[in-house]
Amino acid sequence: MDPITIGLAFVAAQEAVKHIKQAVALGKDIHGLVGQFSKFFESADAVHIASTKAKVSNVGKSNAQLGRQALEFAMHSNKLREDERALKDMILWELGKPQIWEDMIRERTRLMKERFAAERAVEEEKQKHKQKMADLLMYGFIFVGGAVILFSILFGGIAMYGVIQDKNEYEAKVAQRIKVIRQQQLTRETEKATKESG
């Protein structure tokens, strides 16, 4: 939330307090002020949350500007806490309806816990999804790596088989050639021996 939006939320909360006080001073029933109370709490929560989780770009700001921003956040939050105490006192003492304030605080706490639990569940679900995607990616890499290794072994085996086959064919041809040469040599020797004896 930027400082302008925080300022607008603060002004809206102040306007809601002003309307509530005027309505009570005129004797209006508190039940008709639910909208104004809602407006106050929504705006006050926006300011409190923004002051603790300010996602404002601080790049390029001077120390004085950052100090001013921090002071505004602190003063807005402090004023809104005072306003909430004033509203509580008004309901408790001026209107004499402490049960309404207690019920509201109890219900608000319950709703905030539910919201926190829901946000946490969503965050956990996102984390599980990220983990699942990371696991799938890892399994994909393992599968591809395994396939590459398997194909490397397979093609290496085929290539080795081809080399062995070529070697065996070559050795068979050499053996055949040696056999033919010996046969020719034997034939010559036989012919020579026959000529000499005849």
Structural domain includes residue 131: no
Q: What is the pLDDT of residues 60-87, one digit of tens each?
A: 778 888 788 778 888 888 898 999 899 8
Predicted pLDDT of residue 127: 94
Structural domain includes residue 141: no
Structural domain includes residue 18: yes
Q: What is the pLDDT of residues 109-122, one digit of tens each?
A: 898 899 889 989 99
pTM above 0.75, yes or no: no
Structural domain includes residue 167: no
Q: What is the pLDDT of residues 81-92, one digit of tens each?
A: 999 899 888 888
- Residues 6 or more apart whose CB falls under 8 angstroms from that of 20 comprise 33, 36, 37, 40, 87, 90
- Report phi then psi at 31, rounded to 5: -65, -20
Q: In the structure, what pLDDT confidence band is assigned to residue 108 with cuts at 50, 70 and 90?
A: confident
- Number of domains present in the structure of the chain: 1
Structural domain includes residue 104: no
Expressed as residue numbers, the domain containing 65 is 3-96
Structural domain includes residue 165: no
Structural domain includes residue 110: no
Name the CA dihedral angle for 1, 52, 16, 21, rounded to a multiple of 10 degrees: -160
Q: Average pLDDT in the 116-137 region?
A: 92
Q: What is the pLDDT of residues 23-38, one digit of tens each?
A: 888 888 777 888 888 8
* Contact yes or no for 37/87 (Cβ under 8 A): yes
* Contact yes or no for 51/81 (Cβ under 8 A): no
Q: In the structure, what pLDDT confidence band is assigned to residue 48 with cuts at 50, 70 and 90?
A: confident
Structural domain includes residue 126: no
